[in-house]
Amino acid sequence: MLPDAVPDHIRSRLTDYAKLLRIDRPIGTLLLLWPTYWALWLAGEGNPGIGNIIVFTLGVFFMRAAGCAINDFADRDWDKHVERTKDRPLTTGRVKAWEAVALFGGLCIISFLMVVFFTNTFTLYLSFGGALLAFIYPFSKRFTHLPQLFLGAAFSWAIPMAWAAEAGELSQVTWLLFTANVLWTVAYDTFYAMVDRDDDLKVGIKSTAILFGDGDRAIIGALQAMVVLILIIVGNRCELGSIYYLGLVAMACLFIYQQYLAKDRERNGCFKAFLNNNWAGFAVFTGLVIDLIVS
């Protein structure tokens, strides 16, 4: 088999690079992909260009990987003190700091070139904001308890980019989707931060999980309710039908289930609640696409 023909030291390096870029953990890519697809399908009125679908699918994959590389670079001295991250390739020294920076830069360049050659000038201008947010987020936890808000902005910037590529302009619906996704990201990444809260307190990392304290689940619930409400407004503005709203009902039910999973604030339950958000995004996308097809 081909893998057996690859020397062990090369295979080991590729494995470490894959772990650094989280290729083995696609949840972040999926959470970034679903809202991007919401924007593409709404901007394209149910029929987005195949070129844009390919460009933004690849762009999401590359930029999420780039974000992981720069995140681990920023946290390389802290990750060794956190149970979940102490064995990451950069923390253990299997990957060097300069390699992570080079991978971040290379992936950003690839994504930028796709925008240059396959989208329009407006999308190109917007791409600079996305790259800046991807770089700023990992360092935000040093000076604010709201790094999840920076992550939300970074994860949501693909929405105006996708809308601009498909429609050539932005609309109120674009920014409604952007706002909904920022709030959703803060909610699910707070679940994620709750997994590391005890370790983060020891080493001085800031997060919304620490900021919210005992009110964490209540605040997450309020954020989730606002997400559903804004997406209802989107449906009304775009004159979407009952199938879309069934997707929102599914999202709301999954949000309630996530609250149940995290009820004891245990690491495993909070992590499962975080992972479950993939299905929430998928439910909205499925309802949206089917509604646009049958309407």
pLDDT digit string, tens, across residues 224-249: 999 999 999 999 999 999 999 999 99
Nearest-10 crossing angle of helices 242-261, 267-275: 170
Q: Residues 136, 150: contact at Cβ < 8 Å? A: yes
Q: Residues 232, 248: contact at Cβ < 8 Å? A: yes
Q: Residues 160, 54: contact at Cβ < 8 Å? A: no
Mean pLDDT across 195-207: 83
Greater model confidence, 17 or 173: 173
9 token code pair: 């030291």
**d(Cα 65, Cα 67) in Å, to the nearest integer?**
5
% of the chain at pLDDT higher than 90:
67
The 3-state DSSP class for residue 174 equals helix
**d(Cα 96, Cα 135) in Å, to the nearest integer?**
18
The 3-state DSSP class for residue 77 equals coil
* Residue ranges covered by each domain of the chain: 2-294
Assign 11 a pLDDT band (cuts: 50, 70, 90).
confident
The sign of the dihedral angle between the CA atoms of 186, 176, 104, 275 is: positive
Distances 257 to 110, 156, 250, 278 between C-alpha atoms, Å: 39, 24, 11, 13
**d(Cα 100, Cα 67) in Å, to the nearest integer?**
10
**d(Cα 72, Cα 217) in Å, to the nearest integer?**
27
**d(Cα 95, Cα 73) in Å, to the nearest integer?**
10
Greater model confidence, 96 or 176: 176
**d(Cα 179, Cα 193) in Å, to the nearest integer?**
21
pLDDT at 138: 82
**d(Cα 66, Cα 58) in Å, to the nearest integer?**
12
**d(Cα 244, Cα 278) in Å, to the nearest integer?**
17
Phi and psi at 83, nearest 5°, equal -55, -45
Greater model confidence, 6 or 195: 195
Q: In the predicted model, what is the mean pLDDT of the chain?
A: 91
Fold of the CATH domain 2-294 = Tetracycline Repressor; domain 2 (1.10.357)
269 token code pair: 């339950």
Report the alpha-carbon angle 180-114-147, nearest 5: 35
